[in-house]
Amino acid sequence: MFILPLDTIHEGSMKFLYIQLILMQVNSDKILKRVLFAASLVILLIAAAMVFSLFKGSLPSISRFGWGFLFSPEWDPTQGREHYGALLFIVGTLLTSVVALIIALPLAFFTSLFVAEYFRGTKIATIVSTLVDLLAGIPSIIYGLWGFYMLRPFIVTLGLSPQGFGVLTSALVLAIMVVPYATSLSNNTIMMVPNELKEAAYSLGATRLEVIRNVILPSARSGMTASYILAFGRAIGETLAVTMLIGNENIIPKGLCSTGNTMASVIANQFGEASGLQLSSLIEIGLLLFVMTTLINAAGKYIIKKIA
């Protein structure tokens, strides 16, 4: 007689609890989804605001010089006859980065063959790849110091340039800095080459070199190209090491041993004291740098996506 009501009460409260629990769960799931989505908006906003701020900051310079900014080799902050053009910095940046890439190419190519093919899976390969990755961890300013105090005297001794500053010195240091970026992805793509293909080539009597040339390189070529492109993007944006070694002279470099200036270096050197039109021109150089690195990285990523 009195068991029934108790039971029904019990059942009823349990039902209520369940419903509440389910509601809570649905609710919490919804909240979670919104929080995650809101967080994703943050990075979107940062990127959009970045482009906007750079563009807004360089508006005075853009409206004053227009496209001529890109093609004028003159950088004159003298009051009254101010004129700014980015050509010499663009040339300096591209020249140092291209030379650096040319120097880094054999180092990176053979090191990734060493790690991913010749000594693949051995202890030596692990040690070598760890050491190469350590190169990526060394701060830029330390590369600059090393280049300034160790490499520069060496360049002077060789008689390449009187002070030791210049495109070649910066490119040498840059080359060491980008080797880890060029190797890590190449390693992966070389390791991804199917073993069956290599074994088939070996069974036909191919030597290792022939396997590398006819089997590994054709199928790893695009991945390796992508890694060199990404390394090039790194080299373009590198600031302090280059600033300490390029000589910071506002001229278009006449050769490998000539001094010059790069986009990142001129920002680092002049941003603190700049104002007005000069500041705006420096920000426009920053915008150019942003556009260049983004395009280069996008090209690299596009190639990687095509492989995958």
Residues 64-103 that bind other proteins (CB under 8 A): none
Which of residues 65, 69, 75, 143 is near other proteins by CB under 8 A? 143
Selected from 36, 67, 195, 204, the binder of other proteins by CB under 8 A is 36
Least distance in angstroms from the C-beta of 242 to other proteins:
10
Size of the site for other proteins (CB under 8 A): 82
Scanning 7-15, 35-43, 66-74, 78-86 for contacts with other proteins by CB under 8 A, the matching segment is 35-43
Out of 91, 99, 226, 236, point to the residue binding other proteins (CB under 8 A).
Answer: 236
Residue number, 48 or 200, with CB nearest to other proteins: 48
Question: x/- contact string, 245-264, with other proteins (CB under 8 A)?
Answer: -------------------x
Binding mask 159-188 for other proteins (x = CB under 8 A): -----------------x--x---------
Structure tokens at 65: 């010089």
Residue 134 binding other proteins, by CB under 8 A: yes
19 is an interface residue for other proteins by CB under 8 A: no
Instruction: Pick the binder of other proteins from 29, 74, 76, 199 (CB under 8 A).
Output: 29
CB of 210 to other proteins, least distance (A): 7
Is 272 near other proteins (CB under 8 A)?
yes
Q: Following CA atoms 109, 115, 118, 124 in sequence, which dihedral angle do they give, to the nearest 10 degrees?
A: 140
* Residue 113 or 215 having the CB closest to other proteins: 113
Residue 268 lies near other proteins (rule: CB under 8 A): yes
| Neighbouring-strand partners of residue 84 | 75
Alpha-carbon 7 to chain mean position: 68
Among 60, 72, 98, 109, binds other proteins (CB under 8 A): 109
* Candidate residues 256, 271, 277, 299; the one interacting with other proteins per rule CB under 8 A: 271
Q: Is residue 53 within the footprint of other proteins (CB under 8 A)?
A: yes
Q: How far is the CB of 226 from other proteins (least distance, A)?
A: 12
Closest by alpha carbon to 307, among 193, 179, 181, 165?
Answer: 193
CB of 211 to other proteins, least distance (A): 9
Cβ atoms of 204 and 197 within 8 Å: the answer is no
